[in-house]
Amino acid sequence: MKYTEDDLKKELETKEYEYGFYTDIESETFPIGLNEDIVRAISAKKEEPQWMTDWRLESFRYWQQMEEPEWANVHYEKPDFQAISYYSAPNGKPKYDSIDDVDPELLETFAKLGISLDEQKKLAGVAMDVVIDSVSVATTFKSTLAEKGIIFCSISEAIREHPELVRKYIGSVVPQRDNFYAALNSAVFSDGSFCYIPKGVRCPMELSTYFRINQANTGQFERTLVIADEGSYVSYLEGCTAPSRDENQLHAAVVELIALDDAEIKYSTVQNWFPGNKEGKGGVFNFVTKRGICEKNAKISWTQVETGSAVTWKYPSCILKGDNSIGEFYSIAVTNNYQQADTGTKMVHIGKNTRSTIISKGISAGKSQNSYRGLVKINRRADGARNFSQCDSLLMGNACGAHTFPYIEVDNKTAQIEHEATTSKIGEDQIFYCNQRGIDTEKAIALIVNGFSKEVLNKLPMEFAVEAQKLLEISLEGSVG
Amino acid sequence: MDLKDKLLTSHIAFEDHLKADSPLHDLRSNALKVFEEKGFPSKKEENWKYTSLNSVLKEDYSFSPKGESVIEFKDVKKYFLHNVDTYKIVFIDGVYSSFLSETTHDNIDVCLLSSALDKSKYKPVIEAYFNKAAKKDGLTQLNTAFTKEGAFIHIPKNKEADKPIEIIYFSTGNEAAMFLQPRNLVVADENAHVQIIERHQSLSSNAVLTNAVTEIFADKRAMVDYYKIQNDVLSASLVDSTYVEQQRDSICSVHTFSFGGQITRNNLQFKQLGEHCDSILNGITIIGDKQHVDHNTLVHHIAENCESHQDYKGIFDDSSTGVFNGKVYVEKEAQKLDAFQQNNNILISDKATINAKPQLEIFADDVKCSHGCTIGQMDSEALFYMRSRGIGEKEAKALLMYAFANNVLESVKIPELKSRINKLIANKIGVSLGFEL
């Protein structure tokens, strides 16, 4: 029997989210709702010092006065913040000395995700700080890193062990009252990663964490703080998958990067949270604040591949404070079915001779909406600033939308800004060309999409690039007939 | 009492002067209600993020002139295109000046909106078109509420305006600050052709705020060229809203030349209702001092096989501010579209600012949409090249600026207007190149 495109389409439409499973680990979950007592309880649970508790409470008070932002080009039913449980930790011993002590069910979860710890250990080069529902349960390669003086641990541990560093830098890039979700995160963040690279150290391996939203009805509020001291280098990976759930799950993370003089941070994300089913039901709400600050000659590079989440609201930004600092943003955002993405970056040029590059590739299919929203701001004293922005959109079918909202604010005459955007579709001639050389339509589309996104894929570390390419294929399967 | 309250209370008096049974009565009072609700735009509105009217709204404006002002032609001759024959519709402080005007009803109608609103002969046109394209935002509604006078141009089927039409609004400012709200209606029927030049000119140093609304309708295969010259004195501010609706195979262009004024805000919106439309939006902005020019454009593509071209160039000196907020909106029905948007800016001074926001919103997949936006300085190598060949620095800079703006200038179809704008640019840059481009 001939396998037609329609068959394929049907097959893909009914294809369930691959990573949609739910691990039953006895969780210790807080009652739903949010008030000062909950904030205090979270803080107490994590055995935090008084200053941290006060900081959380302060954030909570700011949050109460703020309103949920509505300017983004996304439409969704607003989450009820009183119907969410703000803390959930996998049960059992909080820490494991060896992999054998880890709950076997947890290990199975990782196996399903294709990231079993054993494998990871053997794979070498990748140290994992695994976050499953808020608490860090296993950390590998810690000793290797410790030799170099690199601190890589959960943020709760960092608050206990290295309070001087956390206290100095937390909230320094994303202040508590920065925005609605950042304030919420500051009040209730459950866990996250902390990383400190000492002066002049080049981190020998790619640091990575895996975030998963596991327990139903628990928002994940992780907080990441990466500090690269003078002249250091670090490459940090973050990857996400989440189980299939019908209710929308809220995810409001805050990531702060601090690159001191001459330091370089490379931050890569692959986000593949549950995007909702093909009717647009369920899926994760992803409201993330990511921002980095560059001191003199420093460099921050954001690379992201966004294929998941029902609603994405995410703008990894760079504040180019020091002279000669560099900010980069490479992004691929893929939306299918009823997904909505409003993503982009902010490049704020403050120092002299600062440079920034923005490459954004948006691919929309199905009934999805994909927006690029970016700001390039050149301050009055940022002499010789340079920016290049490129936003390309690829549309598949006429039920989806592509939007571009670039803001360019220039106060300095020596600035040089270039912005360009194009919109296109996959040409019939391109597909025909592939077809006549024996490549079927589905493969041809994957090929063309890969080519379209190549500039960004090339920026990903090896481990991620392969995964990302596969993700792109999976996300777009069946979207063109 | 602020300006909004003053306007609201004066509306009763305004309506008293007009015929009570005026068909526009309901339209006016509804429009006033919308304005009452929305008020003047604030910076909190996304579309007004970079432009604040606060400084000009503080003035104590008078809404209608107390006495009739007379201007001698020789005093204002320089504001007209005097070396080419044109139809003229001239207003002084919002009142029609028959002495300076030259209207016609021969084949085409070039006359006053007030008479078109009154006469039954024009009723079908007014009913079909008046206030049909204007948006429901506060300022436009304010203009509608106070609609009384303006230009009315109607070109019937297969007719062509035999000469360009000049619309000039003078404000004498004889009695303190003036708030003017002219309203223009341009209707080009099937296969009609027309060229229009619009200008607002203040003759004193008293503050003037003009809230102008123009509606342009181009039927099948019609061609409309509209030129706006904004070279007013520094005490004058202008909010100019232009709404264009195009039917199939029509070509409409709006050129905006912004050289003067304190705050100039251009709202330019195109709607393409039929296939094969072409919309052209061009602009040159050259400003200095503390001037502020804001171009807010929207091209709404609804039908297939259409085109739109936007090209805005800006040169900013001193503490001036330029804003470009362009949007191309493509409905999912508007396949096979070619939309292009270009915005280039040069900053000359350390204190000048540019805020640009070129947006695309696309719902159709088989389209060609692109936009480009650049901000930079003059090429120092090019300057050096010219100076090494004996061209003075000032002249070399002027040459580069000319070259920069030339693309837009080239598309001006009236030769006399082109040379006039050339002179204005030379004047603005402060050099005479001794040749015309």
A61 to chain B, minimum CA–CA distance in Å?
25
Q: Please say which residue of B220, B247, B273 terminates a domain.
A: B273
Residues of A in contact with B359 (CB under 8 A): 403-406
Instruction: Tell whether B45 is covered by a domain.
Output: yes
B101 to chain A, minimum CA–CA distance in Å?
44
Distance between CA atoms of residues B305 and A321, nearest Å: 47
Annotate A289-326 with b (16+ C-beta within 10 A) or e (fewer): bbbbbbbbbbbbbbbbbbbbbbbbbbbbbbbbbbbbbb
Residue B73 contacts A where some CB pair is shorter than 8 Å: no
Taking a C-beta distance cutoff of 8 angstroms, is the pair B178, B209 a contact? Answer: yes
In the predicted model, what is the mean pLDDT of residues B364-369?
Answer: 86
Residue B107 contacts A where some CB pair is shorter than 8 Å: no
**Statement: residue B16 has pLDDT above 80:** no
Residues of A in contact with B377 (CB under 8 A): 413-414, 416
Best CA proximity match to A51, nearest among A142, A135, A182, A170: A170
Residue type, A396: M
Interchain contact, A413 vs B350, CB within 8 Å: yes
Interchain contact, A416 vs B377, CB within 8 Å: yes
Best CA proximity match to A351, nearest among A382, A328, A372: A382
Same-domain pairing of B51 and B195: yes
Q: Please say which residue of B273, B300, B333 terminates a domain.
A: B273
In the predicted model, what is the mean pLDDT of residues A160-169?
Answer: 90
In the predicted model, what is the mean pLDDT of residues B365-371?
Answer: 86
Residue B367 contacts A where some CB pair is shorter than 8 Å: yes
B436 to chain A, minimum CA–CA distance in Å?
29
Interchain contact, B361 vs A401, CB within 8 Å: yes
Q: How confident is the model at residue A124 (pLDDT cuts 50, 70, 90)?
A: very low
B327 to chain A, minimum CA–CA distance in Å?
9
Instruction: Tell whether A447 is covered by a domain.
Output: no
Alpha helix positions (H), B20-137: 25-38, 54-57, 73-76, 113-118, 123-129
A315 to chain B, minimum CA–CA distance in Å?
17
Domains in chain A, number: 1
Q: What is the dihedral of CA A80, A83, A88, A91, to 10 degrees?
A: -150
A351 to chain B, minimum CA–CA distance in Å?
16
More confident residue, A137 or B327: B327
Strands B165-171 and B193-202: parallel
Instruction: Tell whether B395 is covered by a domain.
Output: yes
Distance between CA atoms of residues A16 and A18, nearest Å: 6
**Statement: residue A4 has pLDDT above 70:** no
Taking a C-beta distance cutoff of 8 angstroms, is the pair B81, B164 a contact? Answer: yes
A434 to chain B, minimum CA–CA distance in Å?
20
Interchain contact, B362 vs A418, CB within 8 Å: no
More confident residue, B274 or A103: B274
Residues of A in contact with B46 (CB under 8 A): 71
Residues of B in contact with A383 (CB under 8 A): none
From the list A393, A396, A399, the residue facing B362 with the nearest CB is: A393
Instruction: Tell whether A41 is covered by a domain.
Output: yes
pLDDT at residue number B46:
86
Same-domain pairing of B386 and B269: no
Strands B236-246 and A401-410: unpaired
What's the start-to-end Cα distance of chain A, in Å? Answer: 19
- Picking from A70, A335, A413 by the largest number of B CB atoms within 10 A of its own CB, the best residue to mutate is A413
- Picking from A392, A408, A418 by the largest number of B CB atoms within 10 A of its own CB, the best residue to mutate is A408
List the structure tokens of A169: 């830098």
Instruction: Tell whether A371 is covered by a domain.
Output: yes
**pLDDT digit string (tens) for B275-330?**
999 999 999 999 988 999 999 999 999 999 999 999 999 999 989 999 999 999 99
Instruction: Tell whether B134 is covered by a domain.
Output: yes
Low-confidence winner among A85-99, A396-410, B324-338, B382-396 (lowest mean pLDDT): A85-99
Please count the residue pairs, one from chain A and one from chain B, whose beta carbons lie less than 8 angstroms apart: 113
pLDDT above 70 coverage of chain A, percent: 76
Residues of B in contact with A418 (CB under 8 A): 372-374
Choose from A3-12, A152-161, B60-69 the range with maximum mean pLDDT: A152-161
List the structure tokens of A114: 């294709």
Taking a C-beta distance cutoff of 8 angstroms, is the pair A393, A425 a contact? Answer: no
pLDDT at residue number A269:
86
Residue type, A71: W
Best CA proximity match to A326, nearest among A411, A403, A262: A262
Distance between CA atoms of residues B235 and B62, nearest Å: 15
From the list A395, A408, A425, the residue facing B373 with the nearest CB is: A408
Partners of residue A404 on adjacent β-strands: A372, B360
Residue B9 contacts A where some CB pair is shorter than 8 Å: no
Instruction: Tell whether A475 is covered by a domain.
Output: no
Taking a C-beta distance cutoff of 8 angstroms, is the pair B261, B237 a contact? Answer: yes
From the list B46, B353, B372, the residue facing A420 with the nearest CB is: B372
Instruction: Tell whether B369 is covered by a domain.
Output: no
Domains in chain B, number: 2
- Give the residue carrying structure tokens 């350390």: B350
Residue B64 contacts A where some CB pair is shorter than 8 Å: no
**pLDDT digit string (tens) for A329-385?**
999 998 888 889 999 999 999 999 999 999 999 988 888 899 999 999 999 999 999
Interchain contact, B372 vs A412, CB within 8 Å: no
Distance between CA atoms of residues A108 and A106, nearest Å: 5
Task: Report how far apart, in Å, the C-alpha atoms of A243 and of each of A106, A276, A307, A311, B88 are.
Answer: 14, 11, 15, 16, 72
Taking a C-beta distance cutoff of 8 angstroms, is the pair B293, B323 a contact? Answer: yes
Residue B25 contacts A where some CB pair is shorter than 8 Å: no
From the list B364, B368, B374, the residue facing A417 with the nearest CB is: B374
List the structure tokens of B332: 């999912």
Residues of B in contact with A398 (CB under 8 A): 332, 335, 363-366
- Domain interval for residue B223: 3-273
Interchain contact, B349 vs A398, CB within 8 Å: no
More confident residue, B414 or A107: B414
Same-domain pairing of B260 and B388: no
Same-domain pairing of B269 and B393: no
Which runs of E-coded beta strand occur in A134-186?
Answer: 135-139, 151-154
A237 to chain B, minimum CA–CA distance in Å?
32
Confidence (pTM):
0.83
H-helix or E-strand spanning residue B354: strand B353-356
Task: Report how far apart, in Å, the C-alpha atoms of A476 and of each of A12, A473, B154 are.
Answer: 10, 5, 53
More confident residue, A282 or B259: B259
B30: phi then psi, degrees, rounded to nearest 5: -65, -40
Residue B378 contacts A where some CB pair is shorter than 8 Å: no
Residues 270-309 of B with CB under 8 A from A: none
Residue B328 contacts A where some CB pair is shorter than 8 Å: no
Same-domain pairing of B386 and B253: no
Residue B360 contacts A where some CB pair is shorter than 8 Å: yes
Q: What value of ipTM does the predicted structure carry?
A: 0.80
Instruction: Tell whether A309 is covered by a domain.
Output: yes
- Picking from B360, B366, B368 by the largest number of A CB atoms within 10 A of its own CB, the best residue to mutate is B360
Q: Please say which residue of B273, B296, B320 terminates a domain.
A: B273
- Picking from A404, A422, A428, A448 by the largest number of B CB atoms within 10 A of its own CB, the best residue to mutate is A404
**Statement: residue A31 has pLDDT above 90:** no
Residue-by-residue DSSP string for B198-213: EEEEE-SSS-EEEEEE
Instruction: Tell whether B366 is covered by a domain.
Output: no
**Statement: residue A171 has pLDDT above 50:** yes
Residue B377 contacts A where some CB pair is shorter than 8 Å: yes
**Statement: residue B420 has pLDDT above 70:** yes
Instruction: Tell whether B292 is covered by a domain.
Output: no
Instruction: Tell whether A412 is covered by a domain.
Output: yes
In the predicted model, what is the mean pLDDT of residues A171-188?
Answer: 89
In the predicted model, what is the mean pLDDT of residues A81-109?
Answer: 58
pLDDT at residue number A217:
45
Residue B77 DSSP class: G
- Domain interval for residue A282: 5-426
Residues of A with CB under 8 A from a CB of B: 71, 380, 393, 395-425
B368 to chain A, minimum CA–CA distance in Å?
6
pLDDT at residue number A458:
83
- Give the residue carrying structure tokens 């735009």: B41
**pLDDT digit string (tens) for B221-239?**
999 999 999 988 888 999 9
**pLDDT digit string (tens) for A44-55?**
888 888 999 999
A254 to chain B, minimum CA–CA distance in Å?
26
Instruction: Tell whether B85 is covered by a domain.
Output: yes
Measured on CA atoms in the order B143, B146, B150, B155, is the torsion positive or negative?
A: positive
Interchain contact, A415 vs B362, CB within 8 Å: no
Instruction: Tell whether A439 is covered by a domain.
Output: no
List the structure tokens of A39: 């904030």
Partners of residue A225 on adjacent β-strands: A194, A256
Residues of B in contact with A416 (CB under 8 A): 375-377
Instruction: Tell whether B53 is covered by a domain.
Output: yes
**Statement: residue B161 has pLDDT above 70:** yes
Best CA proximity match to A430, nearest among A399, A394, A465, A400: A394
